Each structure stands twice: as structure tokens, then as C-alpha cells.
């Protein structure tokens, strides 16, 4: 599988994604600079976490105008896979490639800790290894992860199976207490209609290297490998 990690000015999880794709999974992985204008035949484009353009104005608001984003949009339109993690998710919603918006956390504070998410739809290229409402323990680290979507659109994406991840308790119960940031209906990750673009706030790359005991993030990358 050919992968690219897009580097925006201010990306800071780019090395982590690159490390996991290349060294843990052995994928053919390269860097993509934000000023580039094409993705050069990739299977998967990863938009990593960080603070592109300092998150100034709104997270993702300025990055969506980077030259590379036109290529990402084309890639997505043609069925190529795009994974946006954290700031990458914020960029994808700002660019209109995913529905909704990501607002300031309910607590007003940055939060970095392990969270539990339940896989709501295993019928996507990103979650095919996560059947049976699989619960994953994945770290979150963000100040703007509070997912918002208006009620009509919420109904639509829910019916389409576009809600892929919801925050839950370790036992898989989707409850207010398990919601770390105020996201509507505990939504932690969504896909587009064609299900080839996933945006998620949790960081699967932070729990994929076997040096650590928690490895649930591998499920996302294994699913991608399985589909490729």
C-alpha cells in the first residue's frame, strides 16, 4: 500500500504517523509537502494531527487553502482513501470533505488522555477489522474536538452509516460521562458518503507501536491493509 503523510506548517504528529505506517506496518510511505500540488498515485493520504497554521482563526481554517488540499479533494472524489487524525479531521471538515464542524471542547481546555471509542460501522475500509461494535482504547489530545452537526444532517449521516466512532465507557456504553469534549451524540469519527474519507479525533498512531502495551490503533491500519 502506498501512503503519504501530508506536512502542513504546524503539523506535529506527522513523524508519528510516518513512523507507524513505515516502520510498524512496512507500508511504502513518503512525505507530502503542503505546497505540492499532487499526490502522485497514493492509495492513502494521511492528514496528521498538530496545529496547522497555529490553529489561528479556527483549527484547519487556513490549511484548507494549502495547494495540496485540491489534490486531496481530487483523490477523495476519485475514490482514494484519506485519513484525517485530530487536526487532520479539523482540516477535512473545514474543507467540506466531511460533514459537521469541530468546536472548542466543552471544558474549554486541551485534553490529553486515553479515551474509549466504539466502532459503529465496520463496513468501511478503515474499520473492517473492528466488527461486533468493537471497543478501542485510543488516546485523544485536542482542544477543539467537540463535534457539531445540525439535527437534519445528523439524521442523514447516522442513517447513512457515516458515524463510525463514538466515545464510550471501557464496557462500550455510549454515555454522557464517557464524552470527553461535548461532541453531539459522542461522535468521535465520521466518514464521507462514499466512505473513503475518515476523520477521527483519537490518535490511532499513538497506540500502534508494540513498544507500548496498548495496540488498539493497529486495527485501523490493519483494516486499511486488508482492503488494499
Partner 1 sequence: MLAKIHVTLKNGVLDPQGKAVNSALNDLGFKEVRNVQIGKYMEVLLDGVSESEAQKRVKEMCDKLLANTVIETYRFTLDSSKK
Partner 2 sequence: MVKAHGLTPDEYRRILDLLGRAPNLTELGIFSVMWSEHCSYKSSRPLLKTLPTEGPRVLQGPGENAGIVDIGGGMAAVFKIESHNHPSFIEPHQGAATGVGGILRDIFTMGARPVALLDSLRFGDLSEPRTRYLLNGVVDGISSYGNCVGVPTVGGEIYFDSCYNGNILVNVFCLGLIKADKIFRGNAAGVGNAVIYVGSKTGRDGIHGASLLASSEFDETTEEKRPTVQVGDPFTEKLLLEACLEIMKHDWVVGVQDMGAAGLTSSSFEMAGRAGTGVELDLSKVPLREEGMTPYEILLSESQERMLFVVRQGHEADALAVFKKWDLNAAVIGRVTEGHSVKILHAGEIAAQLPVSAVVDGALALQRPSQRPQYLDSITELDLTGLKTPERGDEALKKLLAAPNIAGKRWVYEQYDHMVRLNTLILPGSDASVIRVPGAQKALAISADCNSRYCYLDPYQGAQIAVAECCRNVVCAGGEPIGVTNCLNFGSPERPEIMWQFEQAVLGMGDACRFLEIPIVSGNVSFYNETKGEAIFPTPTIAVVGLLEDQKRHCVQWFQKPGDLVALAGFSMEELGGSEYLKLTFDSCRGPVPNLDLPQEKKVQRFCLRSIREGLVSSAHDCSEGGLAVALAESCFTGPRLLGARIEMESTLRSDALMFGETQSRVLISFPRENKEALETLAREGGVEFSVLGSVEGERLTVRIDGEDYIEQDVRVLKKIWDESLERYGR
Residues recognised as catalytic: 86, 203, 205
Give strand pairing partners of 142.
111
The residue among 54 and 155 lying less far from partner 2, judged by its C-beta, is 54
Report in angstroms how near the CB of residue 33 gets to partner 1 at its nearest: 22
CA–CA dist 138, 217 (Å, integer): 7
Near partner 1 by CB under 8 A, which window of 7-15, 46-54, 81-89, 96-104? 96-104
Chain positions contacting partner 2, by CB under 8 A: 9-10, 12-13, 15-16, 19-20, 49-51, 53-56, 109-113, 139, 141, 143, 203, 205-206, 209, 211-212
Alpha helices in the chain (DSSP H): 14-19, 67-77, 87-94, 151-159, 218-227
Which of partner 2, partner 1, none does residue 58 bind (CB under 5 to 8 Å by kind)?
partner 1
Question: Binding of partner 1 at residue 139 (CB under 8 A)?
Answer: no
CA–CA dist 221, 170 (Å, integer): 21
SS3 184: helix
Site for partner 1 in 104-123 (CB under 8 A): 104-108
Which of partner 2, partner 1, none does residue 211 bind (CB under 5 to 8 Å by kind)?
partner 2
For residue 91, CA distances in Å to 45, 94, 102, 148 come to: 13, 5, 10, 15
CA–CA dist 160, 80 (Å, integer): 20
Q: Which of 1, 103, 111, 215 forms a contact with partner 1 (CB under 8 A)?
A: 103
Report in angstroms how near the CB of residue 106 gets to partner 1 at its nearest: 5
Assign residue 127 a region (left: φ > 0; alpha: ψ between -120 and 50; beta: otherwise). Answer: alpha
Report in angstroms how near the CB of residue 111 gets to partner 2 at its nearest: 6
Query: 126: which residues sit within 8 A by CB, 6+ positions away?
Result: 81, 83, 164, 191, 198, 220, 223, 224
Instruction: Using CB under 8 A, list all residues that contact partner 1.
Output: 57-58, 61-62, 65, 93-94, 100-101, 103-108, 146, 148-150, 182
Amino acid at each position: 500500500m502506498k501512503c503519504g503523510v501530508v506536512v502542513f506548517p504546524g503539523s506535529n504528529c506527522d513523524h508519528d504517523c510516518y513512523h507507524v505506517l513505515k516502520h510498524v506496518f512496512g507500508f511504502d510511505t513518503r512525505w507530502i509537502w503542503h505546497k505540492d500540488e499532487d499526490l502522485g498515485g497514493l492509495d492513502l493520504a494521511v492528514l496528521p494531527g498538530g496545529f496547522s497554521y497555529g490553529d489561528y482563526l479556527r483549527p484547519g481554517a487556513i490549511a484548507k487553502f494549502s495547494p495540496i488540499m485540491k489534490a486531496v479533494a481530487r483523490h477523495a472524489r476519485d475514490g482514494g482513501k484519506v485519513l484525517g487524525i485530530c487536526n487532520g479531521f479539523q482540516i477535512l471538515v473545514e474543507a467540506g470533505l466531511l460533514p459537521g464542524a469541530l468546536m472548542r471542547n466543552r471544558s474549554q481546555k486541551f485534553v490529553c488522555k486515553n479515551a474509549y471509542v466504539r466502532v459503529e460501522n465496520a463496513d468501511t475500509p478503515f474499520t473492517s477489522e473492528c466488527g461486533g461494535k468493537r471497543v478501542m482504547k485510543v488516546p485523544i489530545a485536542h482542544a477543539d474536538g467537540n463535534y457539531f452537526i445540525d439535527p437534519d444532517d445528523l439524521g442523514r449521516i447516522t442513517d447513512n452509516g457515516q458515524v463510525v466512532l463514538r466515545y464510550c465507557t471501557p464496557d462500550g456504553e455510549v454515555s454522557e460521562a464517557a464524552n470527553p469534549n461535548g461532541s453531539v451524540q459522542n461522535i468521535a469519527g465520521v466518514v464521507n458518503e462514499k466512505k473513503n474519507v475518515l476523520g477521527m479525533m483519537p490518535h490511532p498512531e499513538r497506540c500502534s507501536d508494540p513498544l507500548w502495551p496498548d495496540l488498539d490503533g493497529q486495527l485501523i491500519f490493519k483494516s486499511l491493509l486488508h482492503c488494499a
